[in-house]
Structure 1
């Protein structure tokens, strides 16, 4: 049953690589380029997952408890996570799938991310992590807090998403002339054609739904998740404890595999070595990302995609603070300094 995690992760990695589903770039573009398409795509994935998962709950396929809301840790951690993903050059999932493309800077960021996640969970920073998470409210469910059915909130989300989607799709498209003959076929669609972010988001939402029963079947009561499984990989390698190898570990390894297969098939795989300054920036960003995600109880996937779909305060407030953190880092890195020479991870050097 654990191998279903590998298959689910491979499918997610393939879809994200081909669809360039990058939340870091999406959040950054909201501020710098005033381009909200990737944010709208995230909302689509959230809405699709929310409808699907709550149908599974309604028909008793899975059970779910929102628990309490560690509001202080969520806000601080999410804000720091948003800062970290800018310096790392990608969020947790984006770093995994970009590593599958051969970006060595993403591998460097992953090392920092896994290391700090492990330190926060079972290392020297665990007491501080647990202490901050101890500041909670009793109710995490938006529906329970407001006394309004969760289906009302889901319906409201769907209406909002449909409004933004139709608004975005009605914008005039740029005409790009080409001399190439128009190609068709499954190979072209899978490996050559540029995927629309909204189409990618629908697929991500469907995969997120499938993840729930597959994960629950192994005793892991959760859907998609990146931070804890990433920490578990490092902890398994260090102390050789098989208890760390669960469905989530196979999920993140599957993301790497799926991205690699997609990149190879589309001729996008190549080793790219960052310069020393960018490598250091990636490592620092990965550590900040691991610190923030562990403190917040989730990353842009665990909180920003899954917990939001479950209609929890933790998910939506975490998403807000991740965006604010991304904007803050983007301001200082890209906007404020004139003639800024700050290195950011772009992994442009190719190893031949």
Structure 2
């Protein structure tokens, strides 16, 4: 698709949202387009960055992620401390989080994309990610149905650094943690390595600004997974296969309301749609060559996509909702998520290599 007609289509949808839904949703759609363009244009892959670090001792991708986390924290934590109406991406430390983060880290390497990666690569027209997207959504929905049972295995109350320490100390603690992470990466890769990639750094700056804008406009941090689960929940509910009133997650007032509203009213859904649009706009000029997959690779990749969606709900987010938004808004669960997902990634890379992805 050519960029000019695509630009007109995106503009028309923006106008429709502004006139028929709300100005806020229209602006969030633009924010989502920016996110998709930044992710696709910089090839800002959380999954790829982790794999390059572990397999090749190449730190450039993870350096970009650390810069993104630091900039987003500098922008978001003061906002949260000054404006109590804004909410952090809090998740409870729990058995659900531990298992979900580990499985997510494992499966994202096989599926070659996390939540945002699946979105923007689907927008780029990569066949495997296009196939994974609906399975991720159904897995996320099924995870939301079961998350109450997983939480019953053991959980603590969510811990927010801003609420406990205040904005300034929360920021210092977060930056200190990121510095320690950077030093650990330095110890792992050793000397004589290139640390910076211009595209990754530009992507980090753009995504940090857009994440802060999302927080200000939406009143909540950037997320991906909830939108996927909501799409599948609406389909299953409309087909009469699911009773939301009998489920602990979907019977909650906010979730029950979203099931009855247009999907265009949902904050996460509208930015997800924008991410697809932004990635599609980038792909109109980019050439994306996808490696042909065998039947076995397709089966393994699609199964990984489903499990990735399921585990993302158990872990209260993916690389965006749990890691980026969790850490940059002071949630302790984000710091727990990272090492568990990294351990899963170590196994996922081996599985990926076994099936020759």
TM-score by length of 2: 0.77
Contact 1:66 1:312 in 2 (8 A): yes
Deviates more, 1:145-154 or 1:320-329: 145-154
1:228 Cα shift? Answer: 0.8
SS in structure 2 of the partner of residue 149 of structure 1? helix
| Distance in 1, Cα, partners of 2:325 & 2:280 | 24
Q: 1:133-282 alignment to 2 at 5 Å? A: 133-134=151-152, 135-142=154-161, 149-157=169-177, 195-216=198-219, 222-239=220-237, 241-243=259-261, 245=263, 246-265=266-285, 267-268=286-287, 274-282=293-301
Q: Equivalent residue of 1:102, what SS?
A: coil
CA deviation profile, 1:127-186 (whole Å, cap 9, x unmatched): xx2122242223523566789931321342575588799999x96769xxxxxxxxxxxx
1:304 aligns with 2:326: no
Q: Distance in 1 between matches of 2:182 and 2:51?
A: 23
Segments of structure 2 that go 5 or more residues without pairing to the other structure are: 1-23, 239-258
- In 2, are the aligned partners of 1:111 and 1:283 still within 8 Å (CA)? no
> Following TM superposition, by how much is the alpha carbon of 1:105 offset from its aligned partner in structure 2, in angstroms?
0.8
CA distance in 1, matches of 2:108, 2:61: 16
Change in Cα spacing, 1:233 to 1:171, as seen in structure 2 (3 Å) is same
Specify the alignment match of 2:241 in structure 1. none
Equivalent pair of 2:100/2:311 in contact (CA under 8 Å): yes
Mapped partners of 1:74, 1:311: distance in 2? 16
Q: Find the counterpart in structure 1 of residue 340 from structure 2.
A: 321
Q: Which residue of structure 2 aligns with residue 103 of structure 1?
A: 126
1:73 matched residue in structure 2: 96
Query: In structure 2, which of residues 42, 56, 80 is the aligned counterpart of residue 33 of structure 1?
Result: 56
Q: What RMSD, in angstroms, separates the aligned Cα atoms of the two structures?
A: 3.0
> Residues 120, 155 of structure 1: CA spacing in aligned structure 2 closer, same or farther, 3 A cutoff?
closer
Higher helix share: 2
CA contact (8 A) 1:47 1:161 kept: no
Q: Secondary structure at the match of 2:319?
A: coil
Q: Distance in 2 between matches of 1:9 and 1:164?
A: 33
Q: Given that residues 101 and 340 in structure 2 are in contact (C-alpha distance below 8 angstroms), is that contact kept between their aligned partners in structure 1?
A: yes
* Cα distance in 2 for residues equivalent to 1:311 and 1:146: 10
In 2 relative to 1, CA 294–67 (structure 1 residues): closer, same or farther, beyond 3 Å? closer
Instruction: Check 1:171–1:312 CA distance in 2 against 1; reply closer, same or farther (3 A cut).
Output: same
Gaps of 5+ in 1: 175-193, 217-221, 335-339, 345-352
Q: What is the deviation of 1:307?
A: 0.2
Q: Say if 1:155 and 1:239 are closer, same or farther in 2 by CA, change over 3 A.
A: closer
The equivalent of 2:87 in structure 1 is 64
- Tell me how far 1:14 sits from its aligned partner: 0.3
The SS at the match of 1:224 is coil
- Residue 130 of structure 1 is aligned with which of 148, 152, 160? 148
How far residue 225 of structure 1 moved from its aligned partner, in angstroms, is: 0.7
| 1:63 Cα offset (Å) | 2.8
Q: Which residue pairs with 1:290 in the alignment?
A: 309
Structure 1 residue 270: Cα displacement: 6.8
Instruction: Give the conservation status (yes or no) of the 8 Å contact 2:40–2:282.
Output: yes
